[in-house]
Amino acid sequence: MSENEPSVGISRRTVTKAMAWAMPAVAVAATVPFAAASVCNDYNPENPCPISLAGVGCKLPGNSQSLYKGYAFRLTVSNPTGSPITINITSATLDGANLGGVEVVNLADGSIKTNPFTVPAHTTYVAALLTVNAPNSSNGALSITYTVNGGAPQVANATVASAPPIQGASCSAFNSTEKAYIAAA
């Protein structure tokens, strides 16, 4: 083909250059779900946060109740969608320390939600996240990692400035009825 002849179609060189630029973008986009947790948004109905932490809780110390060396943290569980969702809490940490096994207690009726648990459509309730066998009894940065319907991990974070023992008046995160539901779990 001479320089004076009109060009027909796209050259192989143009296609090769386009592929060279497109491949890194595809490679980076493919790794995102594995490298980062999904960020939900309570104000976006397309991706609402099903778990919101209140940043308050109480210790369940020693052998004073059925949950040995645990915590009770206040949270809100929400499902604004038109279908039931299944939440699976995969980890709960406080200042990076694993808090052990978890279960959720609905504080409106005392029902216990073992992990994973289903939240009916158009449902919101206040709950307590109960942990067991925590390695220490510190306060600090609470982080809950969970999935919804087996999807990408999502993270709920809060700072827990104080977590007094649940017995007595020093624990104001829960009222007496809620404390009774927690004790019965």
DSSP character for 170? T
Residue 39 lies in a domain: no
- Domain of 98 in residue numbering reads as 51-184
Specify the residue for token string 């179609």.
9
Is 38's pLDDT higher than 90?
A: no
Residue 144 lies in a domain: yes
Residue 4 lies in a domain: no
What's residue 3's pLDDT? 53
Is 45's pLDDT higher than 50?
A: yes
Mean pLDDT for the chain overall: 78
Residue 7 lies in a domain: no
* Cβ burial 159-175 (10 Å sphere, 16+ → b, else e): ebeebbebeeeebebbe
CATH number for position 96: 2.60.40.1890
- What secondary structure does DSSP assign to 5-74, as a single string? SPP-S--HHHHHHHHHHHHHHHHHHHHHHHHS-B---TT-TTS--SEEEEEEEEEE-TTSSSSTTEEEEE
Is 37's pLDDT higher than 70?
A: no
* 84-138 pLDDT, tens digit each: 999 999 999 988 989 888 999 999 999 999 999 999 999 999 999 998 877 766 7
* 164-176 pLDDT, tens digit each: 888 878 999 999 9
What's residue 115's pLDDT? 92
Residue 80 lies in a domain: yes
Is 46's pLDDT higher than 80?
A: no
What's residue 32's pLDDT? 34
Is 6's pLDDT higher than 60?
A: no
What's residue 7's pLDDT? 52
CB atoms within 10 A of CB 157: 12
- The arithmetic mean of pLDDT across residues 18-25, rounded, is 43
What's residue 133's pLDDT? 74
Overall number of domains in the chain: 1
User: pLDDT band at 40, cuts 50/70/90?
Assistant: low
- The arithmetic mean of pLDDT across residues 39-63, rounded, is 74
Residue 112 lies in a domain: yes
pLDDT over 70, % of the chain = 69
What's residue 85's pLDDT? 94
Residue 17 lies in a domain: no
Residue 23 lies in a domain: no
